[in-house]
Structure 1
Amino acid sequence: MVERKIEVEKKKILEEMAYAWDRQVGESRLAYQLFCIYRDLGRTRSYDRVVEISSRSPNTVSKYASSFQWKARAAAYDDYMNHKMRVKLEEEVIQARIRQQALGADMQELAMAGINKIMESENPEELRPLDIARLAEVGVRIENLAIGQPSEIVREESKGEVKHTVEVLDKDLVAEVGRILAEKKSQEDESSEH
């Protein structure tokens, strides 16, 4: 009697711990294998496809699907996988913003170093004031985008209503900054050779 009670409790605990898409209590190895085929079909999921893939009879597949709630279990699995993908994507967005913010700060630092160099030198040749201004501007834009602030606000009004706000980073501006940074690197390389 006590052993039976322990078995019932153990079964209950195992049922609560398992995910819906894991093998269920009482589900045979074959039934679970067929469910896994169904679960892993994703958008093309159907009992007919399980029959095709497994070469099992439609009656067998239908019986197992009904007995072990394949549709609900597969939906729970889909929800779980979607959640995992969202978490991963959110982490990637955070990492991208951290990199963008660091890039923006580095560009601003480079601009500030250029300003300091111009102020210290009577004959500045490495960075022109226009280049420094562009670096500072792009650095601020990139940093703003990284922290979720718009880099530029564009308003389109119709009947006094604001239609939308758009974040924009001009491709030409990015290309110009790339050119400036390449020139700076080239000059540094030439200086280190002499």
Structure 2
Amino acid sequence: MTDINKVIEEVQAVVMPFESWERLAGESAVAYAAFCAFRDFGPERNIRKAVEVSEKDETKQGKKYRVWRGWAAAFRWRERAADYDGYLDKLKQAELRKTIEEQGKVHRAVTGKMLQVVSKKLDLMDPADLAQGTVTEWVSTAIRAEREAAGITAGKDKPEGSVDKNGQITFLPEFEGL
């Protein structure tokens, strides 16, 4: 982290609460509730839309809009909502990363089993019955799938005996019945 970023974070910690989207000093409960309605509207948010959703009486919407617009300026709604969006995005990214790591563990276990099946199949077969191409393809497929599960290769080629994006495994015909 650069020195300027550290200074900015220290100043923000003094000026703002821990999270900018939390209720600010001097912000009334009603103003904060209005901010929450605005904030929760999502990336396409605007004050008018938030007012229309929160106030069904059209005769009161104009006044409420002016009040909310004042609060939005005074309490930096756009900046705080953007901070909140960034926070939610970080949570989603962390969850996605966790899911990918868990899937990787499953994929590595499956490809390990594939290699064990190939090894057992080779042990049971008469070497004279094995075509060189078949053995090479079995080993190549298992190794490729194992590397893809570990994130070592991109996996652009998907021949038989591979693992697709959804974790579906396609075995060579020689494995039927095992």
TM-score by length of 1: 0.66
Cα distance, 1:72–1:136 mapped onto 2, change above 3 Å: same
Aligned length, in residue pairs: 152
Q: What is the aligned partner in structure 2 of residue 141 from structure 1? A: 144
Distance 1:176 1:77 in 2: 43
* Percent of aligned pairs with the same amino acid: 21
Residues 74-93 of structure 1 aligned to structure 2 (within 5 Å): 74-93=81-100
The structure with the largest helix share of the pair is: 1
The structure 1 residue matched to 2:102, chosen from 87, 95, 105, is 95
Residues 108-187 of structure 1 aligned to structure 2 (within 5 Å): 108-118=115-125, 134-150=137-153, 167-170=155-158, 172-174=160-162, 176-177=170-171, 182-184=176-178
Structure 1 stretches of 5 or more lacking a match? Answer: 1-12, 151-165, 185-194
The structure 1 residue matched to 2:114, chosen from 101, 107, 127, is 107
CA contact (8 A) 1:138 1:177 kept: no
Asked which structure has the greater CA Rg, the reply is 1
Structure 2 stretches of 5 or more lacking a match? Answer: 1-12, 56-60, 163-168
Cα distance, 1:180–1:61 mapped onto 2, change above 3 Å: farther
Cα distance, 1:47–1:17 mapped onto 2, change above 3 Å: closer
Distance 1:72 1:148 in 2: 37
